[in-house]
A and B are shown apart, each in its own frame.
Chain A
Amino acid sequence: MSDVLLEIKKLNVFYGAIHAVKGIDIDVKKGEITTLIGANGAGKTSTLNSIVGLVRNKKGNIIYKGKEVSHLKPDAIVKSGIALAPEGRRIFPNLTVEENLQMGAFFRKDVAEVKRDLKWVLELFPRLKERLKQMGGTLSGGEQQMLAIARALMANPQILMMDEPSLGLAPLLVKEVFGVIKRVKREGKTVLLVEQNAAAALSIADYGYVLETGNIVLKGKGKELLANDEVRRAYLGVTV
């Protein structure tokens, strides 16, 4: 499987005078895990937010399944099959876990399939099943991250985009979250993963891009990047 599902060409993002993303090209291939790594302010989140339409001030092409989608609003993009688990989890604290999950499937009218997906998601995250009637805000950080991913999966997306799922989690939980991402891939979903935790992200990614102040400075297969001296020195803290 190597056909490109999502193609980003010469994407530029601006916040007022600040040029956050400077003409990057990214290919997301079907059924693979693609990762964007980089330090704070490299433009990773801006890239994801502009794909899903949350950032309006952008230039360049975003081509999904051969169609230009960069002009679409978030609701149209989510409907077309791109879901985002946003940075910092952003679950709804005063909605129950169940309601949070239903929000993920908000635009879907296929009641029977939503039910089936809910069952599937709860199988994937058995801990959420125990907490269905609990308020989202009462969950622990790790559980909230699981909920954020589960909520995005409820949209039945073709591409699941995750923004720093390891943010603020204990190492053991990071491992658990990345295990889940691998399982999501095995279920046939395409994943676009943004991470600062370069080691963890590259070890599960098929393909990776390294972003630095709005430019792509390196790209390659996950394992290759993991072995790359520059990446090791800059992001993995290994002295070479």
Chain B
Amino acid sequence: MKAKIVFVTKGGEDCDEGFSYVLELAKSINSGITVLVVYPKNMMSTFEDVMAAAAFAEAGDFKTVKTLMDNQERLLREAERKKLADMSERSRIASIALTHTVAEGDPLTVIRDFLQDSPGIDMVLLSPALSANRKADIRKLIKNISKPIVHISRPLKAEV
């Protein structure tokens, strides 16, 4: 089964629901899935961690800063491993071939570079977190990528 769908997700994002959709789609068109996890270059993800690291840096305790950053990276990698293991298991149960790649950098650049090396991909699916920024990024995306781009998002509920 050739991987025809690339599912792009933000590192650290809870993309469980988005992946459920991708799995259903892959089953219906008999496709494999490649999960592309994109982390921003700066691995710090919480304001508190950044502030803590800054405080230690001001105090000259660079060893603690490095420990904090390494710890944060370790936690992120651990969470990512668990997430990918869960996706792999769900794909295995559904008899869908799954591969994954982890990359750092700007999502648009990462997607473009990935597609250049993977000409057999039929469509790009953006997770809900990436789809949320689509107004800002859509023009850049369509200028750089020649595959159909699928945004997955939750419909907005009308307030009564």
* Interaction A to B: no
Q: What residues make up the interface of B, taking CB atoms closer than 8 Å to A?
A: none
